[in-house]
Structure 1
Amino acid sequence: MNPHEHGEVYVTDDGAETDLDLGHYERFTGVAAYKFDSITTGAIYSKLLKDERLGNYAGVTVQVIPHVTNIIKDFILSKNTKGFDFIICEIGGTVGDIEGLPFFEAIRQLVTN
């Protein structure tokens, strides 16, 4: 993470460099944060490209909906979240920016389903 762009960086016990907000959540909840407790848009798209190159989409046109939103939902519902009573899901960015829309759509789908 670039501290000039994101502000102060928080390093988890397992060495992940994350947004400082994760450190605030760790202190507030008293639950240790780890590498897989946070995901970035870059990591989402990296997984999407890897899956596409491996042929996991069987040649169909890869789209934001459903492919990107499915990766986001899979992360939220992954084995890393089993056994928890709640999940804090912070969608960063600026109100009105379109970059967060896939995350909002994924959350909408989770609530609807």
Structure 2
Amino acid sequence: MKYIFVTGGVMSGLGKGITTASIGRILKNRGFLVTAVKIDPYLNIDAGTMNPAQHGEVFVLKDGGEVDLDLGNYERFLDINLTSKHSITTGKIYKTVIEKERHGDYLGGTVQIIPHITDEIKRRIKDAAESYTENGRKADVCLVEVGGTVGDIESMPFLEAVRQLVGELPKSDIALVHVTLVPEDNMGDHKTKPTQHSVKALRESGLHPDVIVG
């Protein structure tokens, strides 16, 4: 299984979802079986009860899951059917970890962001990636879009989980794509300073992008 993580910097709404879906389409055209995961760093369990004026339209999956519209883009671009497993939120992560603590799964240990939250994030990413099959064939590549903006406190546990995966998986099995803003000035020149600061913030999280999309 190969993993491609897509992060975003500078500001939201840069098109991480379309970038992720487009990368997947290119890979599918080359004969790879591709699946995708969307990480949303909000404390809501899912998008079903969120105000569409704030969050946008909700996409309903085949299994009834109410998720971010990006998963709809993945399904249309890649011609696949995803499940609720492919939508990961902070709310789902915390709910699972707290329920495990109440059940005594941690044997009375102190439950912390590291390792318990990050371990649950990694488990869900791997589970979603490995559970996808098409005609008995498992996916070759899993695209993982990390929602939010690098530097936001909400995204930190997810970026830490990605950093850990980078260290745990073979280097040939993982790639990091960073989507950023490259504005033009009045003379039509591209300004790279916002991207420099964004990549600096990403590196402070222990991640080094292989590809930058501006």
**Percent of aligned pairs with the same residue?**
52
Based on CA coordinates, which of the two structures has the bigger radius of gyration? 2
Select which of 74, 80, 85 maps to 1:36: 85
Q: Which amino acid aligns with 1:49?
A: I
Gaps of 5+ in 2: 1-46, 131-137, 169-214
Select which of 148, 164, 175 maps to 1:93: 148
Displacement after TM superposition at 1:81 (Å): 2.3
Q: Which amino acid aligns with 1:12?
A: L
Q: Deviation per CA, 1:32-55: give whole Å up to 9, x if none.
A: 111211111100000010000001
Structure with more helix by fraction: 1
Higher relative contact order (CA 8 A, sep 6+): 2
Q: Deviation per CA, 1:80-102: give whole Å up to 9, x if none.
A: 42221111111111332111111
Aligned length: 112
TM-score (norm 1): 0.92
Match of 1:109 in 2: 164
Matched, 1:59 2:114: no
Computed over aligned residues only, the root mean square deviation of the Cα atoms, in angstroms, reads 1.1
Displacement after TM superposition at 1:4 (Å): 2.8
How far apart are the structure 1 equivalents of 2:122 and 2:114?
A: 12
Match of 1:20 in 2: 69
Match of 1:81 in 2: 129
How far apart are the structure 2 equivalents of 1:13 and 1:26?
A: 11
Structure with more strand by fraction: 2
How far apart are the structure 1 equivalents of 2:106 and 2:119?
A: 12
Q: Which amino acid aligns with 1:60?
A: G
TM-score (norm 2): 0.50
